[in-house]
Amino acid sequence: MATLKISNLSKTYANGVKALDNINIEISNGMFGLLGPNGAGKSSLMRTLATLQEADEGTAFLDDIDIMKNPVELRKVLGYLPQEFGVYPQITAYQLLDHMAILKGITNGKERKELVEYLLQKVNLFQKRHQKVKGFSGGMKQRVGIAQALIGNPKLIIVDEPTAGLDPGERNRFHNLLADVAEDVIIILSTHIVDDVTELCANMAIMNEGSMVYKGTPQAVISELNGKVWQKIIERNEIDEYQKNYTLISDKMVAGKPLIHVLSDSNPGEGFESIAPDLEDVFFSKINVSKEATV
């Protein structure tokens, strides 16, 4: 059982953007979802934990490894799948994993061959192992990415925006693969896609403008909104008016008309119906309402 403990972590870039604003969180084994809109600071946090950039303040420990002070130790137990896994040279899946295994210090040829073949089986690419990665689909590339992240028995796996650009079938296969490996390690899945978290994560946090605006289980945060989410289909020219008069969580087009969700303790009025909240309502209410509160 591993534990990642992040305390008072802050980072301001040279251009003045405060990407991390006093982050505190503790994460244990299993899949942890880090949800936030683009620009929330997710990648900044992921890159800091992956020892690719430094924070200005704060600490992060994986069990007794001080990540800031001892990046070399951390890297030995880290698997990292960045947002874009790679500029692919003209090499095959087998060659790529073999190369990464050498970089991770697995110098024994027989041991490395066994490991690479095992990983190729695990991510269901064994049949394609001698094909060039460059020609793989997005989903297959992501599976190569996961295979390389698993080299060296990592305790912490960081997966940054993994399903962007995958088709639904590929996304499904990728989710199954993550769920499969998540049992023994901490996997942090950073995403702006609410369904990724709903489907996979027992614990989660929502990040916005450099801060954690929620930490806990998806169920607990959804139940906070029970009875408070109302929907209505309105006309397109009415949207400004509703925005002004109600706490709008979200609006989306359904058959050409805006379907709005609003937050209200009681029935907001004519034509609204109460609906069971989902994680998407939570996400938009935490993001939009926290934005309103700071204006």
Cβ distance to ligand ADP smaller for residue 29 or 53: 53
Cβ distance to ligand ADP smaller for residue 214 or 246: 214
Q: How far is the CB of 83 from ligand ADP (least distance, A)?
A: 8
Q: How far is the CB of 196 from ligand ADP (least distance, A)?
A: 14
Q: How far is the CB of 56 from ligand ADP (least distance, A)?
A: 13
Cβ distance to ligand ADP smaller for residue 42 or 128: 42
Give Cα 254 to chain centroid, integer Å: 27
Cβ distance to ligand ADP smaller for residue 19 or 157: 19
Q: Which long-range contacts (CB under 8 A, 24 or more apart) does 219-226 make?
A: 221/279, 221/282, 221/286, 222/277, 222/278, 222/279, 222/281, 222/282, 224/282, 225/263, 225/277, 225/281, 225/282, 225/285, 226/276, 226/277
H/E run at residue 116 = helix 109-122
Q: How far is the CB of 42 from ligand ADP (least distance, A)?
A: 3
Cβ distance to ligand ADP smaller for residue 60 or 106: 60
Residues that bind ligand ADP (CB under 6 A): 13, 15, 17, 19, 36, 38-44
Please identify which residue in the block is written with the tokens 């050498």: 102
> Sheet harboring 65-66: ordered strands across?
18-28, 3-12, 57-62, 65-66
Q: How far is the CB of 115 from ligand ADP (least distance, A)?
A: 31
Six token digits for residue 227: 């009875």
